Chain A
Amino acid sequence: MKPVISVHDEPRLSYVKYVAGFFGSIALTLCAYLLATHLSVDKNILAALLAVLAISQFVLQMFLFLHIGDERGPRLRMAAAGLMLAVVLILVLGSMWIMNNLNYRMTPQQINQYMRSQDSL
């Protein structure tokens, strides 16, 4: 015999989640903006801070707006998102790594400088 299926089985969207997601995102965006415009520390430290804020907002919106955590059973959406993240990181970091190490992209001046530095070795 089939069990009685409750109507409330369907995951419900909640008002609280949307409000939390909205104010959380506003706060993180404002934080990032104020840090970028008012904080005078080393640029690399500032860039790292801004990256942390952006990633926090990404995670926040993935869970509260895109409901990635609400899945039942096999977490197919979560798995697809994980694969996407891996591809994105390989693509972006890989491109930057390769392109920043290509001597072909140097200006003639840089090439001369580079050759001079190699000569002195």
Chain B
Amino acid sequence: MSNANAAAIELRREHEATEKTTIGFWVYLMTDCVLFASLFAVYAVLHGNTIGGPDGHQLFKLPYVLTETFALLLSSFTCGLAMLAAQKGAKHEVLFWLGVTGLLGLTFLGLELHEFRDLVLQGDSWRRSGFLSSYFVLVGTHGMHITFGLIWMVIMGVYVWKKGLTASIRKRLTLLSLFWHFLDVIWIFIFTIVYLYGSLGL
């Protein structure tokens, strides 16, 4: 009985340590939100300044962007599945879902970079107009976050593989999942404000 109690207290202590770290990381995410808000504000102010260049309605291909959105959304879901597996202590399942999440994230990034490449090749780079500068900075900053998320995911995959699901690794997985879900939340607004509003010519 006392043994079981000690184990429970240990678990509780571990949980409290995780909770503290999570709050610290959460505060970072909220400040990151403010960074994105300032870029959204810049976009909101500059999106009409096309100086005769193309606007969002002419440039954005909505079905393409919808595919991107679904890839990211699905990766957010599979990241959740990895967390559920981590909670069960199923190491291989965690590795599998992390792998799927990483591949979907990579798909998203590939689609985005392909879109950027097309825009630049047809002469509509960030140097074309205020609208395109603010577009590339806003969407590019999100893409950069995704890139760092993917690097982090690879590192966590190696850790889980080598060391198993220790308390400290599960804590870090929790933070990674928060980061990844957070990037999907930011994308909701990029999808709506940049792409959907852009295609309406707003």
Contact = CB atoms under 8 A, between A and B. Distances in A.
B123 interface: no
A66 to B, nearest CB: 5
A80 interface: yes
Interface residues of B, number: 51
Contacts of A21: 77, 80
Interface stretch (B29-37, B100-108, B149-157): B29-37
Nearest to B198: A36
A36 B8 contact: no
Interface residues of A, number: 47
A61 B62 contact: no
Contacts of B26: 76-77, 80
Contacts of A32: 191-192, 196
B70 interface: yes
A59 B182 CA distance: 12
Q: By DSSP majority rule, is chain B's interface helix, strand, loop, or mixed? A: helix
B103 to A, nearest CB: 17
Interface string B165-181: 00000000000001001
Contact of B45 (A13, A15, A87, A96): A96
Nearest to A29: B69
Interface in A1-49: 4-7, 9-10, 12-13, 15, 18, 21-22, 25-26, 29, 32-33, 36-37, 43, 46-47
A5 B12 contact: yes
A80 B34 CA distance: 12
A65 B178 CA distance: 8
A52 to B, nearest CB: 10
Nearest to A89: B37
A36 B41 contact: no
Q: By DSSP majority rule, is chain A's interface helix, strand, loop, or mixed? A: helix
Contacts of B185: 58, 61-62, 65-66
Contact of B192 (A25, A53, A95): A53
Nearest to A5: B8
B170 to A, nearest CB: 11
Contact of A65 (B34, B76, B202): B76
A99 interface: yes
Interface string B181-202: 1101100110111001101111
B33 A99 contact: no
A57 B69 CA distance: 13
A26 B12 contact: no
B66 interface: yes
Given A4-B8, A80-B30, A18 B178 contact: no
A18 B80 contact: yes
B188 A99 contact: no
A51 interface: yes
10 contacts: A5-B9, A13-B84, A18-B80, A36-B62, A47-B200, A47-B202, A62-B185, A76-B26, A84-B31, A96-B41
